[in-house]
Amino acid sequence: MQLDKVVAYHKALADATRIKLLILLAGGERSGGELADKLGVTPATVTHHAAKLREASLINERRDKNTIYFTLNHYFIKNGAAAAADLIYRERAAEGEEDNMEENNKRLKESVIRNFFTADGRLKHVPVQLKKKLIVLQHLAEQLAKGKPYTEKEINEFIKRYHDDFATIRREFIMHQLMFRENDVYMLNPRELWTSWENLS
Amino acid sequence: MQLDKVVAYHKALADATRIKLLILLAGGERSGGELADKLGVTPATVTHHAAKLREASLINERRDKNTIYFTLNHYFIKNGAAAAADLIYRERAAEGEEDNMEENNKRLKESVIRNFFTADGRLKHVPVQLKKKLIVLQHLAEQLAKGKPYTEKEINEFIKRYHDDFATIRREFIMHQLMFRENDVYMLNPRELWTSWENLS
DNA sequence: CATCTATTTTAATGACTATCTAATTAGATT
DNA sequence: AATCTAATTAGATAGTCATTAAAATAGATG
C-alpha cells in the first residue's frame, strides 16, 4: 500500500459525518434515505460521503428497486487501519526481520481482494488457485452473520450481490467447510473450522 | 476513545506531507530544519505539521540548544490505528461478548499514558499504583533500542527528556526488570521478561 | 550587548471540501 | 406514457487547511 492510498484512507475517516455513517452501518444494512434521516443531512450529502467511502473501499452497495443499500466492507475497515503503521515502519521492519509470514499473508489477502473484486465490491470471478479461492470464499462468508440460520434462497440472494453464479459458490461454501447445511437450513461454521489458507503454498 | 478523537487522529494522518514526515522519523530522531530540507518545504510548514501531529500524540519533541528534535510516539502510531474500528464496532462488540480483557487493557494503557504525560510528551509524575507505574515505565523503556548498550549518562539524559528525577526512574527500570546493568553498561531486557501489568488488579 | 541560529507566529493566498437547494436521472408502478 | 420514488449531479456558499514570505521570538555564543 503506497502513500496515496494511505492518505485517501485517512481522509475518508477524517470526517465526523462519515464515521457516524459507518457506525450506523455497523448495525446492519441501511438505505441511502435512512442514512440521510438518521444523520440529519440531505440525501445529496449522503451520496457525497458514500462516494468517498467507496473510493476507500470501506463500504459496499447493492441496489433493490429504486433503493440503494449500503453495508460495511469489514475487511478494509479492520485492515486499512494497520496500513499506515506498516508504511511508516516499512524500512525498519525490513532490517528488524520480524516474522514476515503474517505480514505477507495480510498483503496477499489484500491483493487478492483488490484484484478479484470490482470497485463496487462485486466478484469478478472465482480464483482457480486454491489459496486465492479460499481467500475469496472466506471474505464472502465473513459478510454473513455467525450462528444465524439462512434459507437456501437467502444464501442465493446474498451471493448474487457479488456474483451471478450463486450455485457454484454456494457449493464451494459447503465443500470448503465454511458453511454446513442441516434440514434445509444453512449456517456458518465457526471460523476455527475454516480451512486455513495461510499455510498453503 | 470518542468520535472527536478518532476524527482528529485520522485528520492528522490525512496528509501526504505529514505521512512522509513520520516516515522520516521512523529512521530516528530528526531536527525541524532537517525535516524541512528533506520534505522540500519551509521551516514554517514543518512547525505547522508538527503541531497537528503533536495534538494527535503521534510525535514527541525535545529541545537541545536552539534545535528541536522530533521522534515518533510509537504507542499512538500503532494503537491509534485500531481506534476507529473499535469505535465503529463498539455496540456489536458488546453483544458479541469477545474477551474484553485485551480491550480493557489497551484502554487502560491509553488512559494512563494520556493522564500521566503532558501534551508535549513529558512525564508529569510516576504513578503510585503499581499497575499504572509499570505502564509508564514500560512506555518509557519502549523508546529505547533493543540490545543497545547505554552508558549511565545516556540513560540519565534519556530519562531527563521526560522527567527531572532521572535517578529514581533509572532505579525503577532496574527494580522492575526492564533493564539490567553489567559493568557500567545498561541494556534493555527482552520484553518477554518485563513484568506483565496485564494481570495485576 | 550584539549577533547568530533554529523555530514560531502572523497574515495572506489558493486549493479543497461539507453542505445545501434545485434540477436531473434511473428505475418502478399505475 | 405519465407518475412516483430514491438517488445523483450541478452549482453555490461557507469553512477548513496547506503553504509561503516576512516579522517576531527564544536561546546560544562571541
Whether the beta carbon of A8 falls within 7 A of nucleic chain C: the reply is no
Contacts of residue B43, Cβ cutoff 8 Å, sequence gap at least 6: B32, B33, B36
Confidence of residue B127 (pLDDT cuts 50, 70, 90): confident
- Interatomic CA distance for residues B188 and B100, integer angstroms: 30
Question: Is residue B192 pLDDT above 70, yes or no?
Answer: no
Mean pLDDT along residues A23-29: 89
CB A58 within 8 A of CB A26: no
pLDDT digits (tens, 9 = 90+) for B24-61: 998 889 999 999 999 999 999 999 999 999 988 888 88
- Interatomic CA distance for residues B133 and B147, integer angstroms: 23
pLDDT at A18: 96
Percent of chain B past pLDDT 90, that is, above it, reads: 25
Mean pLDDT along residues A26-40: 92
Residue B31 included in any domain:
yes
If you write DSSP's letter for every residue of B19-31 in order, what string do you get?
A: HHHHHHHHTS-EE
Q: Both B126 and B200 in a single domain?
A: yes
Averaged pLDDT score across all residues of chain B: 82
DSSP state of B184: T
A20/B contact by beta carbon, under 8 A = yes
- A201 in helix, strand or coil? coil
pLDDT at A129: 83
Kindly determine whether residue B13 and residue A10, on different chains, have CB atoms separated by under 8 Å: yes
Higher-pLDDT residue of B76, A97: B76
Q: Please list every residue in chain B whose beta carbon sits closer than 8 Å to the beta carbon of residue A4.
A: 16
Mean pLDDT along residues A148-166: 85
If you write DSSP's letter for every residue of B61-94 in order, what string do you get?
A: EEEETTEEEEEE-HHHHHHHHHHHHHHHTHHHHH
Residue B106 included in any domain:
yes
Residue A31 included in any domain:
yes
Q: Which of A53-57, A84-88, A137-141, B90-94 has the lowest mean pLDDT?
A: B90-94
Q: Both B110 and B59 in a single domain?
A: no
Which range of A31-40, A110-119, A125-134, A168-177 scores highest in mean pLDDT? It is A31-40
Instruction: Identify the CATH number of the domain in which residue A165 sits.
Output: 1.10.10
Q: Both B65 and B105 in a single domain?
A: no
Residue B143 included in any domain:
yes
Of A32, A58, A75, which one is at a domain's C-terminal end? A75
Of A42, A57, A75, which one is at a domain's C-terminal end? A75
Kindly determine whether residue A7 and residue B20, on different chains, have CB atoms separated by under 8 Å: no
Mean pLDDT along residues B73-93: 69
Whether the beta carbon of B16 falls within 7 A of nucleic chain C: the reply is no
pLDDT at B99: 46
Instruction: Identify the CATH number of the domain in which residue A17 sits.
Output: 1.10.10.10
CB atoms within 10 A of CB B116: 18
What domain range includes position B9?
3-74
Which range of A139-148, A180-189, B189-198 scores highest in mean pLDDT? It is A139-148
Chain B CA closest to residue A88: B23
Residue B91 included in any domain:
no
Q: Please list every residue in chain B whose beta carbon sits closer than 8 Å to the beta carbon of residue A11.
A: 10, 14
- Interatomic CA distance for residues B15 and B92, integer angstroms: 31
Residue of A20, A72, A88 lying closest to B77 (CB–CB)? A88
Chain B CA closest to residue A84: B81
Residue B104, exposed/middle/buried by CB under 10 A (0-12, 13-18, 19+)? exposed
Kindly determine whether residue A88 and residue B81, on different chains, have CB atoms separated by under 8 Å: no
Kindly determine whether residue A19 and residue B88, on different chains, have CB atoms separated by under 8 Å: yes
Mean pLDDT along residues A11-27: 93
Q: Both B107 and B58 in a single domain?
A: no
Sign of CA dihedral B27, B32, B37, B40: positive
Whether the beta carbon of A111 falls within 7 A of nucleic chain C: the reply is no
pLDDT at B92: 47
CB atoms within 10 A of CB A143: 16
Residue B43 included in any domain:
yes
Nucleotides of C under 7 A from a protein CB: 5-11, 17-22, 26-29
Residue A40 included in any domain:
yes
Q: Both B200 and B133 in a single domain?
A: yes
Kindly determine whether residue B81 and residue A85, on different chains, have CB atoms separated by under 8 Å: yes
Mean pLDDT along residues A130-150: 83
Higher-pLDDT residue of A177, B19: B19
Residue with cell 481506534: B83
CB atoms within 10 A of CB A151: 11
Of B59, B74, B89, which one is at a domain's C-terminal end? B74
Kindly determine whether residue A77 and residue B92, on different chains, have CB atoms separated by under 8 Å: no
Which nucleotide does the CA of A42 lie closest to, via C1'?
Answer: C20
Whether the beta carbon of B51 falls within 7 A of nucleic chain C: the reply is yes
Q: How many interchain CB pairs under 8 A, A with B?
A: 82
pLDDT digits (tens, 9 = 90+) for B146-182: 666 788 888 888 898 888 888 888 888 888 778 877 6
Mean pLDDT along residues A49-71: 90
Q: Both B30 and B64 in a single domain?
A: yes
Mean pLDDT along residues B86-90: 73
- A69 in helix, strand or coil? strand
CB atoms within 10 A of CB B191: 12
- Shortest distance, CA A2 to any CA of chain B (angstroms): 11
Residue A56 included in any domain:
yes
Closest CA to B22 of A11, A95, A87: A87
- Shortest distance, CA A30 to any CA of chain B (angstroms): 15
Which range of A67-76, A178-187, B83-92 scores highest in mean pLDDT? It is A67-76
Domains: count for chain B: 2
pTM exceeds 0.85 for this model: no
Sign of CA dihedral B127, B131, B134, B136: negative
Percent of chain A past pLDDT 70, that is, above it, reads: 84
